[in-house]
Amino acid sequence: MPLIRLDRFISERGEFTRSRIKELAAKGQIRVNGAVVKKSDTKIDPDCDEVEVQGSRLSAERHRYILLNKPAGYVSSTEEHDGPSVMELVPPEMRTKNMFPAGRLDKDSLGALMLTDDGELAHRMLSPRKHIPKIYIVKLAHPFQSKYVDLFSEGITLSDGYQCLPAKVSSVESSETLAFIELSEGKYHQVKRMFAAVENHVEVLMRVSVGGLVLPEKLSFGESMELLHKDVENLFKPPDFNAFCREFSGVFSAILINI
Ligand code: URA
C-alpha cells in the first residue's frame, strides 16, 4: 500500500475534520505505533501502522462511498436480472467486495445513485423514518400545469389507491415540459405514477440530489466519484427546495433538453 498522510487516514474514518486533526496532533493526542505524532501531515502506511486518536485505535478498514451518475439501461442491483448491473460502471479500484446500491433508480432512470459497503449508513439513509428528501428533474410529455403545485402538496392518490406524502413540484422557466419534484419516500415507480395520476407522463427522469448531496455537473453519465466522509454527512442536511430549483435549474435543464 502506498503511504498516505495521517490526517487523510483519520478523516476518512470518521468524525474529525483536517483542522481538528491538526489541533489534536499539536496537543499530542494522536499516536502512531504508540508514539505521539505532532504533525498531521506525517506519512503513514495504512496497512500496518496503528493509529490512535485520543486513546482509541482506528480500524485499518474503511467504508467506501461512491456517487454514480447512472445512465439509462442499467439495473440498480448487484446482480444482472433484467440488464447489466450498475456495479459494472464502477471502476475496479473504487469497488469493494460488499458494495451495493444504496437506493434504487428504474432501469430507464438517470442520475444520482450512491453505492457503498456501509450497511449501517445505507439503512439510516433508506429508513422511511428519516424521510431524506430526493429531488428529481423530469421531462414531461405535456406541459407542466400550475395546479400541480397544490395537488402534489396535498398528497397525490396513485391508481392503486396509495396516498402519497406531500411532495413539492416546481416548473422550470426555460421549458414548459421540465419540472423539479421533491419526494421524501420511494415507492415503486413513484414519480412516474404521480404524474400519471394527474394525466401527464414522465418521458425522462433524472435524480439530481439525495438529501444535501447534489449530483456534480462535471460527473457525466456512467461516471462515478468517491465521496468523502463530509459529503456523506451532507446526505442528512437537505437543501431548501425552492433555493435548489433557483440555483440548479440552468444546469440540469440544459442536460435534460439534450436527451
Ligand atoms: N420514481 C420513479 O418513477 N422512478 C425512479 O427511478 C425513481 C423515482
Q: All domains of the chain, ordered by start, with CATH? A: 4-57 (3.10.290.10), 65-257 (3.30.2350.10)
Name all residues whose Cβ lies below 6 A of ligand 1: 105-106, 109, 189-192, 205
pLDDT of residue 1: 63
- Indicate the pTM of the whole model: 0.84
Burial class (CB in 10 A: 0-12, 13-18, 19+), 231: middle
> Could you tell which of 77, 82, 105 is best to mutate to test the pocket of ligand 1, judged by most ligand atoms within 8 Å of the CB?
105
- pLDDT (tens digit per residue) in 204-217: 999 999 999 999 99
- pLDDT (tens digit per residue) in 107-124: 999 999 999 998 888 888
| Mean pLDDT score across all residues of the chain | 92
- pLDDT (tens digit per residue) in 11-26: 877 668 888 999 999 9
- pLDDT (tens digit per residue) in 190-248: 999 999 999 999 999 999 999 999 999 999 999 999 998 778 888 889 999 999 999 99
